Amino acid sequence: MNAADMTLSMFFDELASDSPAPGGGTVAALGAAAAAGLVSMVARLTLGKEKFRDHWKEMETIAEKSDVLRSRFLRLMKEDADAFNEFMAAMKLPKETEEQKKTRADAMQNALLHAAEVPLETLRLCADIALLAFATAERGNPNALTDAGAAAAFALSAAQTAAYNVRINTKALRDQLQVTRLEKETKQHLQTVRKFALQTTDFVEAQLS
């Protein structure tokens, strides 16, 4: 069953089991989906409030964008588990002959690359959510200020978790060009998420002081 379709109890029971999937990559996408949901909530709590009329159009756009991102993160939960299962299937391929060994090795490398690309996508989109979180914190309904702050915190945590999952898969990749690309993109996206998340945290802390 798709992890996103499970009840919370079912999901966390499965997560706590000895099954390696769902794992960290799925949890990263889940955390990012939670961040997106919080952003949408803050935006919608701003809409319709007369005192925030000047920000209605922006908040409507933010709500729509974060809704799309939330749906994408939920799909990434499944894609991450599928990518792991793809690698496990490749490992089980026969390896009796030289041709079989090559086929198996190629399949494992392709699966590893896919398993790195999925959390990289989660990480990249976390930057979008972190930026939207800052916008809702700064110009959204101040009564939901800490929800925007929570969105930024979840986005950063999800991004860091996703980055770990990219890196663990690149360690066994043989294509150094792909490794270099993945490591570079991971570093860049993580820096972007941290930048926006820190801006949001600083703003929230200043308002709460």
> What is the domain-level CATH number for residue 173?
1.20.120.680
**Is omega for the bond preceding 142 within 30 degrees of 0, making it cis?**
no
Residue 1: its pLDDT value, please? 62
Query: Quick one: CA torsion of 120, 121, 124, 130, rounded to 10 degrees?
Result: -120
Average pLDDT over residues 6-22: 86
- Is a pLDDT exceeding 80 seen at residue 3? no
Instruction: Name the pLDDT band for 131 (thresholds 50, 70, 90).
Output: very high
pTM for the full predicted model? 0.92
Please determine, for residue 2, whether its predicted confidence score (pLDDT) is greater than 80. Answer: no
Tally of domains within the chain: 1
**8 is a domain residue:** no
In a domain, 2, yes or no: no
Residue 11 — very low, low, confident or very high, per pLDDT cuts 50/70/90? confident
Rounded Cα distance, 164 and 120, in Å: 10
Average pLDDT over residues 3-29: 87
- 4 part of a folded domain: no
Q: Is residue 10 in some structural domain?
A: no
179 pLDDT more than 70: yes
Looking at the domain assignment, is residue 7 inside a domain? no
Residue 16 lies in a domain: no
Domain that holds residue 83: 22-208
| Residue 173 located in a structural domain | yes
pLDDT > 90? residue 18: no
